[in-house]
Chain A
Amino acid sequence: DAKTTQPTSMDCAEGRAANLPCNHSTISGNEYVYWYRQIHSQGPQYIIHGLKNNETNEMASLIITEDRKSSTLILPHATLRDTAVYYCIVRGETSGSRLTFGEGTQLTVNP
């Protein structure tokens, strides 16, 4: 699976949009981009995933560049409860492809 690079930490003001970037320059054509988050001392939570088109659900939007080498997770109106570590994971939909968690980005939403 392709490796991802994320900033170690980011801050965001409550009520503003949080834009979390991820670089995955070695992604291959059949690999998806997944985003999970982990609130302190809890299990990770699935947020969203996509292949090449932008995706939106009730939690967030995922913007994938046309060359697929990077993506951005957007939380449109961040709340204090969105403070968490956000993981960007690239994963192939083939047999044996695991979900490999890296260091992630610590997002802190400030009042």
Chain B
Amino acid sequence: ETGVTQTPRHLVMGMTNKKSLKCEQHLGHNAMYWYKQSAKKPLELMFVYSLEERVENNSVPSRFSPECPNSSHLFLHLHTLQPEDSALYLCASSQDWLQKQYFGPGTRLTVL
């Protein structure tokens, strides 16, 4: 138990669906992150939020839309995804964006 929770743990969606992934941290941290881990590939950083402001966006397609309404919550809104977007999506948080990161268990996403 790392203090970072993610819901849902598993998600299957069609290419025309709209869904959202949720991350919540109970650690009082100020920075939150979204990572993508495709099969047999290293983790890829997608977005970084520090004090609720997006500070990094690594050329992620617009079909992924992050939202950080407060320092404890982070969402990843998904729409018109492709089958190659199937992956494990991991959320992490840290005290600030230079400190060690605590990861959630991930959401296993399958796009049909």
Contact = CB atoms under 8 A, between A and B. Distances in A.
Nearest to B100: A46
Nearest to B92: A43
Nearest to B90: A43
A103 B43 contact: no
B106 interface: yes
Contact of A101 (B4, B42, B100): B42
A102 B106 contact: no
Contact of A98 (B4, B42, B56, B104): B56
A46 B103 CA distance: 8
B21 interface: no
Nearest to A92: B98
A45 B92 CA distance: 10
Interface string B76-106: 0000000000001010100000101111111
Interface in A82-108: 93-104
B45 A99 contact: yes
B76 to A, nearest CB: 15
27 contacts: A34-B100, A41-B88, A41-B106, A41-B108, A42-B105, A42-B106, A43-B2, A43-B103, A43-B104, A43-B106, A44-B43, A44-B90, A44-B92, A44-B103, A45-B2, A46-B102, A94-B98, A95-B98, A96-B56, A97-B98, A98-B45, A98-B48, A99-B45, A99-B101, A101-B42, A102-B42, A103-B42
